[in-house]
Structure 1
Amino acid sequence: MAVKYNQWKALLAMAKASLKAILRSPSAVIFSLGFPLVFILVFGFIGDNGVSVKIGVDKATDTTSYVFQALRKEKTLKLIMDKSAAEMQDDLKKGHLTAIINITKDGAAPACDVKVSTSTASADKIQLFNSILRGVIYQADDKFYPRKSVARIEPMIVLPGRRYKTIDFILPGLLSFSLLSAAVFSTAFLFFNLRQTLVLKRFFATPIRRIYIVLGEALARLVFQVAGAVIILAIGYFAFGFTLVHGWSTFFEMLLLTAFGVVVFMGFGFVVSGIATSESTIPPIANVITLPQFLLAGTFVPVDAFPSWLQPVCRIMPLTYLNDAFRKIAFEGLHLWNIGLELGVITLWGIIVYAVAVRVFRWE
């Protein structure tokens, strides 16, 4: 009596072999996990202190004055005191310094004169420095020369809330893009090489069905990408305070969304492998799909920051909606059933891209 061929057992065997091949591939590990981790570490260490205003301090400045000591405590300011006057003037002209200050005594303490030199090269940051300087002086006036005011500000009602940190915006974008790039490039190269080396043709000589070949390779990439997402989320959460509003439930919802994104984005890889005529044509075609989304889908910059005429283009891209979905779940505390628009658009893209993949994908 003949034993019936077990398609699922064959699928798992293919997935296991493919996963081992992925883990042995330095390029796959670097592009899927290495690059996102490097970016996360960079932005994580920068934190919310990305804006830094460099101010040169004139050698004649009275460093004991109240105003100077207050400016020194401002985290946004970086006071430069180890350069000569000529070097600071040169840096000011080049925009390396926002301003040069000279604080001198004006009678009895704490009175002083503050002279500020700036240049047109620093027009973008001088307003910020001026507001900080005025705030310091107003605080000094209130402390040393209290006076009546035309208005009194009532104590503010402070509502409970969460601080939106840089890592809360950056990490979901990098996670989304790593899923897109890995799914497109790895799928395209894999099936093109399997076809070129006649491995797919050899598979046809076995009882395994074509759909199980695809599912086996997809499962390997799905496991790899979800495992990578676990590492990325863990580092973001424990090292840099990435927000997971509902703890474990949010974490698992992020992983489910990761798996969904990988499945959809693999469709682009099937399309690329189907239309590529040689291995060298795969990167240009794949970059046409991935790079515009990397730049315009809100990975590093919110979509609202782009010109109004460009935003509709950004809103077409599937990566935009995956970014939004990740951020809404992680920071806003929404659940998968609350992000119907995002899931609907991504699903629509999945239907379209797999419909195209069925038409262009070649087994031989």
Structure 2
Amino acid sequence: MTKTWIFFKLRMLQLRYDKTALFFSYIFPVILLTGIGYPMELMNKAEIKLHYIDQVQSEASAKVIQYLHDNALVNLIVDPEPEAYQQRLKANELKQLLLIKPADNTNTSTGTKTELALELVTNDEAQNVIENQALNNVVNAYFTSQSQHVAQKTISAGSVTSYITILLPGLIGMTLLIIGLNGFGGVLIEEGHEGLFRNIKTIDASPLPFLSGLLFSRLVVCFSIALSLFMIGIFMFNLSWQFDLFLWLLIVLLGSCAFLGIGLIIAVLSPSVNGFNGIVNFVQLPFVVFSGVFFSISAFPDWLQWVTQLIPLTHMNIALHAVMFDGVNMTNVAEIGKELAVLSFWCLASLYIGWKRFKW
């Protein structure tokens, strides 16, 4: 136990001076989370940009503008180039434009004269059809009779459905995978080929405290990174912190140990540092692409979804998402029972095989 503690402290001290490892462990995931998550959150906002040109400049047109401004679906913008709107619509630089024009005609349904006419100008791009129809309904609603109102009640769905619910668990899992493969297995293969193992043998130290010290130091890094990313999610994306923290930490522990074990296996099987790097690239890329780090695996065809179930990162992402956003806790933990079982299997099997194959 004393030797394990000594190796652990040495590993933490070593990490302190490894600027590259610190960057890819702590800074790079934050850059991905903010650089991808924040723009995607803005894109997820349910609003349509509507440029307008007010040719009337009257109290009636001001009421129309205020009505549209108050509509949550519409992001109303004064058109900066009214003389060139047709060319911009043709080029799809402008999707929709509302012309508020003077009118001198009588409304046939009410028998009253109208001061203005509204013309929604759009293009025929297929990608804009739904937005065009939605805006047409909003504009037409302004002229409908206000004598009868439809009561509307909004009920909260009780869950977060934005892109961040996919990205955050995925980035946590991906970062832990990188630490396991490169921060654990990569360190071992390099030190072995540099002759460090032979030097350690001279001080009568067994592989167990040596590997344990490295493993515990990497677990500290894994937990600190996972917590840091989630705290950023709370403060930047207004995520809730009310979830089962114990179950969340258990998933992080199982996933981290599984990836550390995989890194250990690759290290002991690799004939050289270059061979290790090649195997890691071969393993790491499919793990990240097919496990739902940046998008949901439900977008894959059925046969490919079956293949993704063989990847431990897939199960970690699913379990983290369920705990953080779907309300899964210790009372209904059976909902992620398969994910926990798969992670536990990978954790125990990879560490055991790696330990048995490891030699000084």
Output the TM-score relative to the length of structure 1.
Answer: 0.81
2:201 aligned residue (200, 204, 211): 204
User: Corresponding residue for 1:4?
Assistant: none
2:179 aligned residue (160, 182, 200): 182
User: Corresponding residue for 2:299?
Assistant: 305
Gaps of 5+ in 2: 105-112
User: Corresponding residue for 1:280?
Assistant: 274
Contact 2:52 2:99 in 1 (8 A): yes
Gaps of 5+ in 1: 1-7
Following superposition of structure 1 onto structure 2, how do residues 152-231 of structure 1 map, counting pairs within 5 Å?
158=155, 161-231=158-228
Asked if residue 258 in structure 1 is aligned to residue 252 in structure 2, the reply is: yes
1:323 aligned residue (317, 320, 329): 317
Asked if residue 25 in structure 1 is aligned to residue 18 in structure 2, the reply is: yes
User: Quick one: structure 1 residues 286 and 55, their matched pair in 2 at CA, closer, same or farther if it must change by over 3 Å?
Assistant: farther
User: Quick one: structure 1 residues 276 and 153, their matched pair in 2 at CA, closer, same or farther if it must change by over 3 Å?
Assistant: same
Q: How far apart, CA to CA, are the structure 2 residues paired with 1:215 and 1:44? A: 36
Aligned residue type for 1:141: F
User: Quick one: structure 1 residues 219 and 159, their matched pair in 2 at CA, closer, same or farther if it must change by over 3 Å?
Assistant: closer
1:35 aligned residue (28, 32, 55): 28
Residue deviations 1:131-176 (CA, integer Å, cap 9, x gap): 13313422x134xx2367xxx9676584773444443332112111
1:218 deviates by 0.4
Could you tell which deviates more after superposition, 310-319 or 53-62?
Answer: 53-62
1:134 aligned residue (133, 137, 154): 137
1:207 deviates by 2.3
Q: How far apart, CA to CA, are the structure 2 residues paired with 1:268 and 1:275? A: 11
Q: How far apart, CA to CA, are the structure 2 residues paired with 1:357 and 1:89? A: 67
Q: How far apart, CA to CA, are the structure 2 residues paired with 1:157 and 1:93? A: 38
User: Corresponding residue for 1:102?
Assistant: 99
Residue aligned with 1:106, SS: strand
User: Corresponding residue for 2:4?
Assistant: 11
Contact 2:25 2:179 in 1 (8 A): yes
Residue deviations 1:76-102 (CA, integer Å, cap 9, x gap): 64636224654x555545544323443
Contact 2:54 2:101 in 1 (8 A): no
User: Corresponding residue for 2:327?
Assistant: 333
Aligned residue type for 2:196: V
Q: How far apart, CA to CA, are the structure 1 residues paired with 2:19 and 2:114? A: 65
How many residues get paired?
Answer: 344
Q: How far apart, CA to CA, are the structure 2 residues paired with 1:212 and 1:93? A: 70
2:123 aligned residue (118, 122, 133): 118
Residue aligned with 1:309, SS: helix
Residue aligned with 1:185, SS: helix
1:354 deviates by 4.2
Output the TM-score relative to the length of structure 2.
Answer: 0.82
User: Quick one: structure 1 residues 103 and 293, their matched pair in 2 at CA, closer, same or farther if it must change by over 3 Å?
Assistant: farther
Percent identity (aligned): 21
Contact 2:262 2:350 in 1 (8 A): yes
User: Quick one: structure 1 residues 205 and 280, their matched pair in 2 at CA, closer, same or farther if it must change by over 3 Å?
Assistant: same
RMSD, aligned CA? 3.2
Residue aligned with 1:232, SS: helix
